[in-house]
Structure 1
Amino acid sequence: MTFGAMEAAQAQGLVAGRDLLFSGINTSAEAMQAVVDGRLAALSGGHFLCGAWALVLLHDHHRGLDFMSEGLELQRPMFMLFDAPQARRFLQRFGDGQALALDFRPYSKALNPGLKRYPFQLEGLLKAGSRSE
């Protein structure tokens, strides 16, 4: 929707990031590049990881670890606000659109008994090692 609004503005002779400010919720390469280019003033994303975090919890539960130690409600920030440097990192790590083999083992308490709390944050994936293809 944001890119449609940007196209409509451009058709009126307006420039995104200069005449109008746009924001969105997305982690596509196109959206990240728009942040880097200054066409998107604000971009949030990361909700796609909700399923991955749920699978880590199921993995641990299957191995006998109850996530009750996290409390009755598991609340973790799913979204991250991207600035240009973070968008560049995201593009570097995930930007080619290829299916990536992400290693979720560091997030499992069953595989990492020293973890006190699940480290579910998108920022951690951006800082993780190089991509594996």
Structure 2
Amino acid sequence: MTRVRNEPIELRAVLDSFAELWSPRIVTRVNDYDVRVARVEGEHIWHAHDDTDEFFLVLDGELLIALRDGGDPAAERTVALPAGSVFVVPRGTEHKPSSPAGASILMFEPTGTLSVGDRHEAVPSHIEATTGHALGGPA
């Protein structure tokens, strides 16, 4: 279990401590939410979180998030998030994050939220289905 730390946490040092893609680390907790960071590159999978919104902050690089508003593939759109941008995917919205050139991101999610959501495609081997790893935890 990741505990709230009583000292500053340098995000660059955390990101430098692991190389795995799509494998979030839990930096700290705020109430019942995890603050997670992840390195991402390539494509994630289409998925949705039925009971929670998902907050993204791009620390470096660019993150693309394809969205299916109302679950309709014909209503698909993509938002581009450069470094310093934030975006919230509303609960129940199918989405597919990607980053062709790679990015580092920070996310707020309720503790225990699975990285591949409640509804998702088959999970390929380059994506880890996890609720996040404690700092210094398994890679």
Determine if the TM-score, normalized by the shorter chain, exceeds 0.5: no
**TM-score w.r.t. length of structure 2:** 0.22
Q: Comparing both structures, which one devotes a greater share of its residues to helix?
A: 1
Structure with higher Rg: it is 1
Higher relative CO (Cα under 8 Å, sequence separation at least 6) belongs to: 2
**TM-score w.r.t. length of structure 1:** 0.23
Q: Comparing both structures, which one devotes a greater share of its residues to strand?
A: 2
